[in-house]
């Protein structure tokens, strides 16, 4: 799997790339899906960079080279591709350009608010200036056509000590749009329980908490994420294997940030039809529709809503999911403006 398999050559024709996959959605439904005000809450900046934007960042790259280095067949391969893209980002201006392109793509899909995850742990690992990079991102976000807040992500396989500088910086940037701290990466090599103290420190510093869990590991990984204080779970699809866990998620109103295409492309589920999204929803577990790494997975948020429709969700239920995406945001409603808030409210029960 890689960019070109998802349509890189067509997308690279425009500098921004990332156009809606109209071929997947008929025109009338596309218009309806786009018009629903919604938030994107599980979205990695570095995984959103389309081939056209990568070539703006590094003109020496060819589509063939991008395709070669972003091929993957499983989750481990995906992580290697993700790191390769990260290494192309060398300056604050590179990150700002990536955000500029992403914000336009999101706005075109009816997104009024996004919480974008920044791989701050990877930036530190690369030895780059996190303050300069985030400063450029914050300035760029102020010019964006949608409201943007930030989740700072630490790499769990790097260990808890490597996560502490991420928490420290994130806490100091709360007045500049950072709303949460989370951990991602390999949940088997970096179990959530090892980050209990780090999560406590983040919570005490005023940050909200999210955690990738139950993506490549079982329901026990989700339980560990809950135990250390996660308020939202990235993916969490393994919860379908544990009735008691689903009951806990339902009763505590802890949402799962569902990314169907991501799970199919990394091989953690066999197909979209086999994905537990609908069963989790019917069990009363709060679920949210997201893209994760849309450029690497060849998906868009509008496309993920259409995919949910194909998996049995009615239009009324899709509007309910869109409203939930705004309700479960870590920022206050005024972050995405009265217009988005009023529209979201008007579409709900």
> In CATH, what number is assigned to the domain containing residue 65?
3.20.20.140
- Bigger pLDDT: 15 vs 188: 188
Please indicate, yes or no, if residue 173 is contained in any of the structural domains.
yes
Please indicate, yes or no, if residue 349 is contained in any of the structural domains.
no
Please indicate, yes or no, if residue 228 is contained in any of the structural domains.
yes
Please indicate, yes or no, if residue 164 is contained in any of the structural domains.
yes
How far from each other are the two terminal CA atoms of the chain, in whole angstroms? 40
Q: Which of 280, 225, 210 is nearest to 250 (CA)?
A: 280
Please indicate, yes or no, if residue 307 is contained in any of the structural domains.
yes
- Bigger pLDDT: 146 vs 9: 146
* For residue 338, pLDDT beyond 90: no
Distance of alpha carbon 284 from alpha carbon 249, whole angstroms? 9
In this prediction, residue 27 has a pLDDT band, given cuts at 50, 70 and 90, of low
State the DSSP string of 199-211.
Answer: HHHHHHTT-EEEE
Please indicate, yes or no, if residue 18 is contained in any of the structural domains.
no
Are 150 and 215 contacting, i.e. CB atoms less than 8 angstroms apart?
A: no
Distance of alpha carbon 132 from alpha carbon 124, whole angstroms? 12
Percent helix / strand / coil, the chain, rounded to 5? 55, 15, 30
Please indicate, yes or no, if residue 74 is contained in any of the structural domains.
yes
* For residue 104, pLDDT beyond 70: yes
Please indicate, yes or no, if residue 287 is contained in any of the structural domains.
yes
Q: Which of 239, 129, 230 is nearest to 184 (CA)?
A: 230
Total of domains in the chain: 1
Give the H or E element holding residue 233: strand 232-235
Least confident of 51-55, 145-149, 245-249, 329-333: 329-333
Name the residue range of residue 221's domain: 4-10+41-188+195-328
In this prediction, residue 337 has a pLDDT band, given cuts at 50, 70 and 90, of low
* For residue 243, pLDDT beyond 70: yes
Count, in order, helices (H) and strands (E) of the chain. Answer: 18, 8
Question: Does the annotation mark 224 as catalytic?
Answer: no
In this prediction, residue 2 has a pLDDT band, given cuts at 50, 70 and 90, of very low
Residues making up the chain, counted from first to last = 349
Of 215, 224, 231, 304, the active-site residue reads 215
Least confident of 6-10, 85-89, 190-194, 342-346: 6-10
Q: Which of 232, 239, 199, 194 is nearest to 215 (CA)?
A: 239
Give me the pLDDT at residue 96, please.
98
Give me the percent of the chain exceeding a pLDDT of 70.
87
The per-residue b/e assignment along 139-150, b for 16 or more CB within 10 angstroms, e otherwise, is ebbeebebbbbb
């Amino acid at each position: 799997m890689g960019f070109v398999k998802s349509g890189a050559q067509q997308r690279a024709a425009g500098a921004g790339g990332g156009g809606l996959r109209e071929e997947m959605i008929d025109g009338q439904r596309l218009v309806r899906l786009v018009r629903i005000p919604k938030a994107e809450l599980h979205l990695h900046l570095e995984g959103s960079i389309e081939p056209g934007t990568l070539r703006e960042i590094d003109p020496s790259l060819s589509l063939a080279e991008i395709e070669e280095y972003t091929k993957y067949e499983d989750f481990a391969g995906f992580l290697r591709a993700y790191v390769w893209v990260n290494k192309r980002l060398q300056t604050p201006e590179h990150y700002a350009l990536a955000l500029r392109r992403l914000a336009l793509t999101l706005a075109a899909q009816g997104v009024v608010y996004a919480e974008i995850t920044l791989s701050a742990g990877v930036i530190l690992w690369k030895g780059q200036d996190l303050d300069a990079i985030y400063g450029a991102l914050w300035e760029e976000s102020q010019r964006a056509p949608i409201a943007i807040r930030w989740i700072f992500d630490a790499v769990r396989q790097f260990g808890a000590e490597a996560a502490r500088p991420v928490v420290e910086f994130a806490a100091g940037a709360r007045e500049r749009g950072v709303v949460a701290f989370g951990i991602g990466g390999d949940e088997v090599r970096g179990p959530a329980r090892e980050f209990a103290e780090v999560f406590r420190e983040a919570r005490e510093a005023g940050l909200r908490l999210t955690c990738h869990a139950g993506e490549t590991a079982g329901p026990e990984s989700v339980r560990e994420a809950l135990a250390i204080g996660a308020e939202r779970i990235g993916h969490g699809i393994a919860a379908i294997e544990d009735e008691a866990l689903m009951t806990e998620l339902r009763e505590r109103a802890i949402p799962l940030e569902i990314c169907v295409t991501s799970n199919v492309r990394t091989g953690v589920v066999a197909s979209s039809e086999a994905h537990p999204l609908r069963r989790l929803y019917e069990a009363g577990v709060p679920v949210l529709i997201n893209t994760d790494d849309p450029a690497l997975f060849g998906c868009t948020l509008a496309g993920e809503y259409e995919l949910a429709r194909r998996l049995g969700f009615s239009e009324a239920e899709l509007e309910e999911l869109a409203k939930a995406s705004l309700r479960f945001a870590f920022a206050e409603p005024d972050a995405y403006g009265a217009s988005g808030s009023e529209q979201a409210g008007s579409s709900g029960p």
